Amino acid sequence: MEALRESPAAAYVAHLEKGELAYQVSASTGQVVFYPRVIAPVTGAADLEWRISKGLGTVHATTVVHPQKGEPYNVALIDVDEGFRMMSRVEDILPAAVKIGMRVRMRVHREPEGSEDPPYPVFFPVESA
């Protein structure tokens, strides 16, 4: 196997830094892979290629978390149009208003200047086409 230039996690974060939601596809099997890895699950294929999602998806499942301190927030599973599911949250809407089947679009959340936390994807509702 060819030596990696950077870890899959580092490559994923680098794409997020550019505002992109990246995922991988096995060239030999067409299997979509997310969260990024060195080899494909199940097959062990080491021919993973990076692709960029259009950032659109559908809420598969949703719940509202009520922390002891702070405001309630949404946690959702998003079926991204390119064929993978990811956990995230839906913003710009009341947490209880997020519904299964809702169409959403990704944007990158960045922590305040000086934070060591990497950027991460969040979603917001979009109008139906």
Residue 4 has pLDDT above 80, yes or no: no
State the Cα–Cα distance between residues 69 and 71, nearest whole angstrom.
7
pTM above 0.75, yes or no: yes
Counting residues of the chain whose pLDDT is more than 70, the rounded percentage is 95
At 103, which amino acid appears? R
Average pLDDT of the segment spanning 32-45: 91
Fold of 56-125: OB fold (Dihydrolipoamide Acetyltransferase, E2P) (2.40.50)
What are the boundaries of each domain within the chain?
A: 8-52, 56-125
Both tokens of 67, joined, read 């922390």
Band the pLDDT of 82: cuts 50, 70, 90.
Answer: very high
Residue pair 107/73 in contact by the 8 Å Cβ criterion:
no
Average pLDDT of the chain? Answer: 91
Tell whether the model's pLDDT for residue 101 goes beyond 60.
yes
How far is Cα 104 from Cα 7, in angstroms, rounded to an integer?
29
